[in-house]
């Protein structure tokens, strides 16, 4: 404090001129006095700096910098795998290209290009061991193409008096609605695939020709009775009536009827949010023994009794997982491939003789690539309408003749013969007898009520029925790609 006071007083004296005498003194005395003052001021300034430094060091806490020691390296065993960083990836299911979605239209739609179509899934879609797209999932699209129908179907339509240029619709599905209500964009092309599920029947004894005829007539009568019952209880009676009317017209609009089924093949993969993807059941390989049960699969190879030969390799894929008896482990996951071959192929021949096709699956290919032997026999399959396919006790598929093979020619022949012996024809008789050319034949017969006109149409109907059912080739057994089937695994 003293040094500070001396320093301050010295500075003030210098600034006010008190260091220099006002009277005229000698030059030497002035210089001596000035040097002495400068030395005293230097000493005072140095003492002041030392005092201030000491005070500042005592009033603050000292900071000591200590170098951080280097951490010792952790020894890594050469066989210890490196652990990657865990990242949160949302669980998802990926549906691959080519996966077919089986859909069914909800309403009747007129066949026009660009017409919006609404449908729903009729088969669930699996990923792993659980369903990711349940039944009744809505799906939406548009008619993208109308393909002309040619061949025997078009020819028989003209012979029946239908000159409409028949076409087959192709639908481009663009979105589906998930259970939570969100729309998922998709790219799937669909073609009509309406079929009936045919199950394996019990083994029957070989029947004589008369017994077969009797059985066929009985089946026809039962079918007619069932048809009447179905027509009464059919939920869309107006559509059924309209279909019958269209069948009699020489030219009519074309519609996609309610209940028509399509196979929509995915053209691009789609990714679904799947909370269960991280909680899948464990997959237990069969290790040489696949327990007996039923496999749900679809064909990857199209089959036809007319063109395929014995020994042709075939492929299929599981559409549902195959569980153990406790349903706690997956033996064969969804997507497992099956391989087999055609064991019998008999084409249809003239005089109404139908084709036969038999095939079996011998191996399954597990996801890791290993092969396992299996003996899987077909017990149920989707048969195309009109083929009248049945399965025998050994898994063979047989095409049968139409149910009206015996009854229809008999009824048509009776009506034609009754017209020939009855000279007094009226409009009702003319309408009942003229069955050969649809509505135009009935209108002409009613207008003219001529025995000759009626007989021409009546015998034309008899000849057409006999030719189609008894003279021409029978039905082939044909299974398109993606045909659904059930396979029974034998314990061998």
Classify residue 101 by burial, with Cβ atoms within 10 Å: 0-12, 13-18, 19+: buried
Predicted confidence (pLDDT) per residue in 468-485, tens digit? 888 888 888 888 888 999
Percent of the chain with pLDDT over 70: 67
Tens digits of per-residue pLDDT, 183-220?
999 999 998 887 777 776 555 555 566 665 666 666 65
The architecture that CATH gives domain 94-205+255-280 is Beta Barrel (2.40)
Q: pTM of this prediction?
A: 0.68
Chain segment 108-151, per-residue pLDDT in tens: 999 999 999 999 999 999 988 888 999 999 999 999 999 999 88
The whole-number average pLDDT for the span 152-166 is 85
Whole-number pLDDT of residue 101: 93
Domains 94-205+255-280 and 281-401+474-489 belong to one CATH topology:
yes
pLDDT tens by residue, 286-311: 777 788 888 999 999 999 999 999 99
Does 21 have pLDDT greater than 50? no
Place 171 in a pLDDT band, splitting at 50, 70 and 90: very high
- Residue 78 pLDDT class (50, 70, 90 cuts): very low
Q: What is the pLDDT of residue 233?
A: 56
Model confidence at 429, pLDDT cuts 50, 70, 90, reads: low
Where does the pLDDT of residue 326 fall: very low under 50, low under 70, confident under 90, or very high at 90 and above?
Answer: confident
Mean pLDDT (the chain) is 75
Q: Where are the domains of the chain?
A: 94-205+255-280, 281-401+474-489, 407-471
Share of the chain above pLDDT 90, in %: 23
Domain over 281-401+474-489 is classified CATH 2.40.128.260? yes
Q: Is the pLDDT of residue 261 over 80?
A: yes
């Amino acid at each position: 404090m003293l040094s500070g006071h001396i320093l301050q007083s010295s500075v003030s004296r210098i600034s006010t001129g008190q260091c220099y005498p006002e009277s005229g003194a000698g030059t030497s005395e002035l210089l001596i006095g000035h040097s002495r003052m400068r030395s005293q001021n230097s000493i005072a300034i140095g003492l002041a700096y030392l005092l201030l430094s000491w005070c500042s060091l005592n009033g603050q806490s000292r900071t000591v910098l200590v170098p951080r020691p280097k951490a010792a390296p952790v020894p890594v065993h050469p066989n210890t795998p490196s652990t990657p960083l865990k990242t949160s990836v949302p669980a998802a299911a990926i549906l691959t290209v080519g996966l077919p979605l089986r859909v069914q239209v909800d309403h009747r739609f007129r066949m026009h290009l660009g017409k919006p179509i609404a449908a729903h899934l009729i088969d669930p879609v699996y990923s792993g061991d659980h369903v990711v797209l349940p039944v009744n999932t809505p799906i939406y699209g548009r008619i993208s193409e109308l393909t002309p129908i040619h061949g025997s179907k078009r020819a028989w339509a003209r012979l029946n008096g239908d000159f409409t240029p028949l076409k087959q619709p192709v639908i481009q599905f663009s979105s589906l609605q998930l259970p939570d209500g969100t729309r998922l964009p998709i790219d799937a092309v669909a073609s009509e695939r309406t079929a009936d599920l045919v199950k394996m029947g019990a083994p029957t004894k070989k029947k004589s020709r008369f017994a077969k005829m009797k059985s066929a007539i009985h089946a026809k009568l039962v079918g007619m009775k069932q048809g009447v019952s179905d027509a009464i209880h059919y939920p869309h009676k107006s559509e059924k009536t309209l279909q019958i009317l269209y069948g009699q017209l020489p030219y009519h609009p074309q519609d996609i009827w309610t209940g028509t089924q399509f196979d929509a093949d995915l053209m691009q993969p789609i990714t679904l949010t799947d909370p269960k993807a991280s909680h899948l059941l464990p997959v237990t390989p069969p290790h040489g023994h696949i327990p007996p049960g039923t496999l749900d699969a679809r064909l990857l190879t199209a089959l036809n009794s007319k063109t395929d030969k014995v020994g042709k390799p075939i492929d299929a894929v599981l559409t549902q997982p195959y569980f153990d008896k406790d349903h706690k482990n997956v033996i064969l996951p969804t997507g497992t491939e099956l391989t087999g071959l055609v064991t019998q192929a008999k084409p249809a021949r003239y005089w109404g003789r139908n084709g036969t096709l038999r095939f079996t699956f011998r191996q399954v290919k597990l996801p890791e690539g290993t092969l396992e032997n299996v003996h899987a026999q077909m017990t149920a399959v989707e048969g195309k309408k009109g083929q009248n396919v049945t399965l025998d006790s050994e898994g063979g598929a047989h095409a049968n003749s139409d149910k009206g093979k015996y009854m229809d020619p008999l009824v048509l022949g009776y009506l034609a013969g009754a017209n020939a012996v009855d000279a007094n024809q009226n409009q009702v008789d003319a309408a009942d007898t003229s069955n050969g050319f649809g509505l135009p034949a009935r209108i002409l017969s009613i207008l003219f009520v001529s025995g000759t006109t009626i007989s021409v149409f009546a015998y034309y109907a008899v000849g057409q029925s006999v030719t189609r059912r008894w003279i021409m080739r029978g039905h082939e057994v044909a299974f398109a790609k993606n045909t659904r089937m059930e396979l029974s695994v034998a314990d061998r």
